């Protein structure tokens, strides 16, 4: 017996304000380093383990020799991973010069600078370009934007997509815990997460790390200062997960969804705990890393199978979209909203 999934109990702002945009930019300036190291980006080996399965599928969507645009690419880890997994030409685009500089360095260090390049460019400037892409990726980008900004980015994506191209959207969706599954599934998943918590697994085996050193403590304190949004946003001021069917509504005017997959939920939190633990107990953390992440991925796959996130956590879903024919879709309008 299935119950209905209610929409999230909050609404995405229709448009942004200069104040919130300034707060968002300030947030990125303060926290992007720690986000990269511990929270979201993490290490290349961890990315490959936790995210390789869906990144490979993005590569497979690209025709041989095809071009990929990664809009809102941030520090470029995804563009670089795509290059390492076989993509022939990737252009990472972001309006943040500091992040693009780090991305270029990463591509050079990773030996993919010949096929993965980065440009400082806002989505607004992109709308006027004449080059075209076979795949456009919006990875964890849209959930930092207002509704109008999202529509403008989608217009831009459609404009730069070549004939037969695909748009890939990867964003967090908030499923209310316990709302969607059968009673038996619910009981089983709850039991597994309770066991995981009891064994310290939910904290990436962090409880084994009984003597955190000063560097770990100060890093944890900085991480704890990140939540700046109004609950249930977070952690950055403009960040807000999508309601279960919100993305379909937003893309419907210009795109048809041809593929959808729940890819990830909380495994990166386990990795985060392990990386923090490494600051105090490097040998123990490294010894526990892969067994812990293997357990995290197993639990995560279960959560994704039934779209049951551990309470309060998001499910990251990937949508593969094809543009609707021009007759069905409105003309592109470009993107002008300042974001962060």
Ligand X SMILES: C[S@@+](CC[C@H](N)C(=O)[O-])C[C@H]1O[C@@H](n2cnc3c(N)ncnc32)[C@H](O)[C@@H]1O
Residues of this chain that bind ligand X (CB under 6 A): 40-41, 72-74, 78, 94-96, 99, 122-123, 139-141, 144, 339-340
Q: Are 67 and 132 within 8 A, CB to CB? A: yes
Query: Quick check: bond before 204 cis, omega within 30?
Result: no
The residue (of 123 and 275) whose beta carbon lies closer to ligand X is 123
Instruction: Please state the closest distance from residue 36 (CB atom) to ligand X, in A.
Output: 8
The residue (of 298 and 336) whose beta carbon lies closer to ligand X is 336
Residue with tokens 């994506």: 157
Long-range Cβ contact pairs of 14-22 (< 8 A, separation 24 or more) = 14/146, 14/147, 14/148, 15/146, 15/147, 15/148, 15/149, 15/337, 16/145, 16/146, 16/148, 16/149, 16/238, 16/337, 16/338, 16/339, 18/338, 20/237, 20/238, 21/238, 21/338, 21/339, 21/340
Instruction: Please state the closest distance from residue 20 (CB atom) to ligand X, in A.
Output: 13
Closest by Cα among 271, 253, 251 to 317: 251
Instruction: Please state the closest distance from residue 145 (CB atom) to ligand X, in A.
Output: 7
The residue (of 73 and 201) whose beta carbon lies closer to ligand X is 73
* 306, HSE (Cβ side, Cα atoms, 13 Å): 22
Instruction: Please state the closest distance from residue 137 (CB atom) to ligand X, in A.
Output: 8
Instruction: Please state the closest distance from residue 93 (CB atom) to ligand X, in A.
Output: 6
Instruction: Please state the closest distance from residue 244 (CB atom) to ligand X, in A.
Output: 21
Q: 312 phi and psi, to 5 degrees?
A: 80, -10
The residue (of 296 and 339) whose beta carbon lies closer to ligand X is 339
The residue (of 100 and 243) whose beta carbon lies closer to ligand X is 100
Instruction: Please state the closest distance from residue 28 (CB atom) to ligand X, in A.
Output: 6
Residue 17 contacts by C-beta under 8 Å, 6 or more apart in sequence? none
The residue (of 74 and 244) whose beta carbon lies closer to ligand X is 74
Residue closest to ligand X, measured at CB: 74
Closest by Cα among 174, 59, 339, 245 to 70: 59
What are the CA-CA distances from residue 233 to residues 190, 236, 241, 289, 340 (Å)? 24, 8, 7, 29, 16
The residue (of 84 and 144) whose beta carbon lies closer to ligand X is 144
């Amino acid at each position: 017996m299935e119950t209905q999934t209610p929409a999230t109990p909050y609404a995405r702002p229709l448009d942004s304000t200069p104040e919130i945009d300034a707060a968002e930019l300030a947030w990125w300036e303060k926290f992007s380093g720690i986000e990269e190291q511990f929270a979201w980006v993490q290490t290349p080996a961890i990315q490959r383990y936790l995210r390789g399965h869906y990144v490979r599928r993005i590569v497979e969507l690209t025709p041989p020799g095809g071009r990929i645009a990664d809009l809102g690419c941030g520090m470029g880890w995804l563009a670089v991973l795509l290059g390492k997994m076989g993509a022939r030409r990737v252009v990472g685009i972001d309006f943040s010069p500091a992040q693009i500089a780090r991305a270029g360095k990463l591509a050079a260090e990773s030996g993919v600078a010949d096929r993965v390049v980065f440009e400082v460019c806002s989505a607004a400037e992109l709308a006027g370009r004449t080059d075209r892409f076979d795949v456009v990726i919006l990875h964890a980008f849209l959930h930092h934007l207002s509704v109008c900004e999202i529509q403008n980015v989608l217009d831009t994506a459609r404009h730069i997509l070549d004939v037969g191209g695909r748009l890939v959207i990867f964003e967090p969706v908030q499923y209310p815990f316990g709302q969607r599954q059968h009673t038996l599934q619910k009981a089983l998943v709850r039991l597994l997460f309770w066991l995981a918590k009891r064994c310290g697994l939910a904290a990436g085996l962090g409880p084994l790390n009984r003597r955190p050193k000063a560097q770990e403590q100060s890093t944890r304190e900085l991480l704890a200062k990140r939540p700046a949004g109004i609950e249930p946003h977070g952690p950055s001021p403009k960040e807000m997960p999508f309601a279960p069917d919100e993305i379909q509504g937003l893309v419907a005017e210009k795109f048809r969804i041809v593929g959808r997959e729940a890819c990830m939920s909380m495994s990166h939190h386990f990795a985060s705990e392990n990386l923090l633990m490494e600051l105090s107990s490097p040998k123990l953390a490294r010894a526990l890393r892969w067994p812990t992440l293997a357990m995290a991925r197993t639990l995560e796959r279960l959560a994704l199978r039934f779209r049951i996130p551990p309470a309060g956590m998001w499910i990251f879903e990937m949508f593969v979209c094809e543009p609707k024919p021009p007759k069905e879709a409105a003309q592109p309008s470009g993107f002008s909203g300042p974001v962060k």
